[in-house]
Chain A
Amino acid sequence: MIAPDLARVETLWVYLAADPLLWLTVTLAAYVVAERISARFGRHPLANPVLIAVALLALILGATRTPFETYFEGAQFVHFLLGPATVALALPLHRHWSLVRKAALPILAALLAGALTAVVSAVGIAAAFGVPQPILASLAPKSVTAAIAMGIAREIGGEPSLTATLVIATGILGAIMVTPLMALLRLTDWRARGFAAGLAAHGIGTARAFQVNPVAGAFAAIAMGLNGLVTAVLVPLILRLF
């Protein structure tokens, strides 16, 4: 047996760590493990696959001292698929269109009430804690999908990168809270549950909704799209009050 040549192992690591292949593989592996854990716990809301995968990655990136930029060079291939996946939401929307059309009025009412609550409560609570204005501006669009939220933040003097963080955190929180909260409120209407998940927690809430029920998923997709539009109009108006 040849003793392991440390220099060669190090050379290999330097090559691998800089190659997109490694971090793409690690991202998929973290998700596979997270999925297994989530399934093992019977899809318990706390065993959220995004949360578990991110926690695993945090450990791995921290232990290997890998900068996020290096990691993202591999992970971007997964990230890229968010675009076509968003387009693909047209299919469940089309499939459940008759249900959606029948619920036009509840959708409109819930959309306005929810969008208003999301912005006013977040900014109001943070302002009460003395959080300064540019941070409030970054927080206001937290419930809408990242691309729209960052655009809104930029327009009203927030920090788009902080907004992206707050958006993802909101998504994970919403995906975790939606099932127990709806059970607590004794709400069994999948349309309402899905719509709430998509409105409050954008794509991550929508992913959770699809995990639970296809009708909930379709209504979550609509809520995510509509709330992006409404919030873009509401946020600049509401922020003038704070």
Chain B
Amino acid sequence: MIAALTLLLACQLVGEAGARLFDLPVPGPVIGMALLFLGLRLRPAAASEGAPLAMVAGVLLAHLSLLFVPAGAGILRHAGSLVAHGPGLIVALIVSTALTLAVTALVFVKVAALVDSRPDETP
């Protein structure tokens, strides 16, 4: 378990260092994710059900929502500035998020049907 957690942190650390060293616009953890992904392609056994890495990752991802709570509480500080700019910002947020969801999913489905890649068979 500790080795698995260390591996996750090490990937992040290398990612953070790489992002700073090469001035990349990508955050360290995202580079870390890519590194770990490459590692798993080479050693798939580490990702198998019951492996320590799979268990640690499972716990973290099962409660991904919890990890956003502190940042979420942070919006309280700026709630005033959201309202201060009138309805424009709020309307833009709501409409744009709905549009983005719809366009992304519809384009995905249409193109998938065109190239005839089979959709997932889960109900």
A contact residues vs B (CB 8 Å cutoff): 27-28, 30-31, 35, 48-51, 53-54, 57-58, 61, 68, 71-72, 75-76, 78-79, 81-95, 97, 99, 102-103, 105-107, 109-111, 113-114, 117-118, 121-123, 125-126, 128-131, 135, 139, 142-143, 145-148, 151-152, 161-162, 164-166, 168-174, 177-178, 181-182, 185, 187-193, 195-197, 199-201, 203-204, 206-208, 210-211, 213, 215, 217, 221, 223, 225, 228-229, 232
Contacts and interface: CB of A to CB of B under 8 A. Distances in A.
A122 B92 contact: yes
A36 to B, nearest CB: 13
Given A82-B68, A174-B101, A196-B108, 16 more contacts: A78-B66, A83-B32, A85-B60, A85-B64, A86-B30, A90-B39, A91-B54, A93-B33, A93-B37, A97-B41, A121-B92, A122-B92, A151-B25, A166-B93, A187-B105, A195-B105
Contacts of A111: 104
Given A93-B37, A110-B104, A88 B56 contact: yes
B103 to A, nearest CB: 4
A43 B15 CA distance: 35
A39 to B, nearest CB: 12
Contacts of A27: 69-70, 73
Interface string B67-93: 111111111111101100111110111
A105 to B, nearest CB: 5
24 contacts: A27-B70, A28-B66, A31-B65, A50-B69, A53-B69, A54-B72, A58-B76, A78-B66, A87-B8, A90-B57, A97-B41, A117-B100, A125-B88, A129-B92, A130-B86, A148-B25, A164-B71, A174-B100, A181-B101, A185-B105, A185-B106, A188-B119, A192-B109, A204-B68
A191 B119 contact: yes
Interface of A is mostly: helix
Nearest to B48: A95
Contacts of B25: 148, 151-152, 229, 232
A207 B76 CA distance: 21
B120 A122 contact: no
A31 B112 contact: no
Interface string B38-69: 01110010010000011011101111111111
A4 to B, nearest CB: 30
B107 A84 contact: no
B93 A170 contact: yes
Contacts of A139: 89, 92-93
A135 B85 contact: yes
Nearest to A125: B92
A38 to B, nearest CB: 9
Given A164-B71, A165-B78, A129 B93 contact: no
A61 B96 contact: no
A168 B108 contact: no
A78 B87 CA distance: 33
A110 B89 contact: no
B60 A195 contact: no
Q: Which of B34, B63, B64, B77 has the most CB of A within 10 A?
A: B64
A129 B89 CA distance: 8
B73 A75 contact: yes
Contact of B81 (A165, A196, A232): A165
